[in-house]
Structure 1
Amino acid sequence: MERQAFDTRAAFQAQLALLLGRARVSLRMFDPDYADWQLGSASTDALLRAFLRGGGSLQLVAHSNARLERDAPRFLRLLQDYGHLIECRVTNRSLRHLTDSFCVADERDIVRRFHRDFFRGEADFDAPSSTQTCLERFEGIWAETTAGLHANVTGL
């Protein structure tokens, strides 16, 4: 597949759904707050449950988990059901200036937005070389995080 540019909410969410449906082993996600990711929607929940049932693992980093706690009860149930395969982390204050957003699946597929305030971005599938920079960034971000959401912390 070739790189697909997008610049609308609907196109971003369609590319993200395609990526989630293709994922088999790993998902690495970074977004300041996941406000536009629809992690609490029924369709995203179904995609993530299928991924996790197959033994995939999810690593999610945000500046704040408040939106997920408030607006995504399905994601919180997913965390309760598959907490052993999901790790949610929160960035340290030193990284709060980061405003981009991305999801890498299986080190071969990527959907990324260049800035959280805009839907302009790109998706690239079957392109391991396109994921390398974001994977390296993710590892650097991950190293500067603390524990985030846990099913028992949210009262579930």
Structure 2
Amino acid sequence: MDRQVIPFTTRAEFQQHLATCLSGARHTLQMFDPDYSIWQLGSSATEAELRRFLHAGGKLQLVAHDGRLIEREAPRFLRLLKDYGHLIELRRTSPQLRQLTDSFCIADQRDMVRRFHADHFRGEASFNAPQDLQTSLERFLTIWIESTPALVANFAGL
């Protein structure tokens, strides 16, 4: 597949591109969103894709400002955490990062779906475009390092 960069402006387009990104992931998924409110982490389709990915040994890194929505509305994701907790790392951003408002998913350092602001659907999907992802990969690494582990007694702990 050739490099593709596809702008989007609607919820349906975001979710379509996110599903494509998840289905193409083989080794790593790196995700950041303030609360994952529109990611459909609790849907059966997303669970199936993530289960396939994790069952094959993929590693998921997920960072959020607040994970209460996941705990309340994504029981399927919590089941994945129970079944594949050794392959899933959850982190919560530190207070100094709470002003970050973008949202993105990077798969295998090759594909990315990014919303420019978490309150809006405008963004772009990049597929087979590792050369375009360097800044976002560095951004994710910085967010990851500046965040704290989110596993606590309440199960998900985000």
TM band (smaller chain): over 0.9
| Structure 2 partner of 1:118 | 120
| Structure 2 partner of 1:72 | 74
Contact residue 40 and residue 75 of structure 1 kept, 8 A:
yes
Trace 1:73-92 onto structure 2 (pairs within 5 A): 73-92=75-94
Structure 1, gaps ≥5 residues long:
none
| Structure 2 partner of 1:45 | 47
Indicate yes or no: 2:25 matched with 1:23: yes
Instruction: Give the TM-score of the pair, scaled to structure 1.
Output: 0.96
Distance 1:102 1:121 in 2: 9
| Structure 2 partner of 1:97 | 99
The amino acid that maps onto 1:122 is E
| Structure 2 partner of 1:154 | 155
Distance 2:131 2:65 in 1: 27
Q: Does 54-63 or 140-149 show the bigger shift? A: 140-149
Task: Give the number of aligned pairs.
Answer: 154
**Cα RMSD (Å) of the superposition?**
1.2
Q: 1:24 to 1:69 in 2, by over 3 A?
A: same
Partner secondary structure for residue 12 of structure 1: helix
Q: CA deviation at 1:154?
A: 2.0
Instruction: Give the TM-score of the pair, scaled to structure 2.
Output: 0.94
Q: 1:67-106: CA deviations, max 9, x gaps?
A: 1001100000000000000001000000000000000000
Partner secondary structure for residue 4 of structure 2: coil
Distance 1:124 1:104 in 2: 9
Distance 1:149 1:11 in 2: 32
Q: What percent of counterpart residues are identical? A: 60
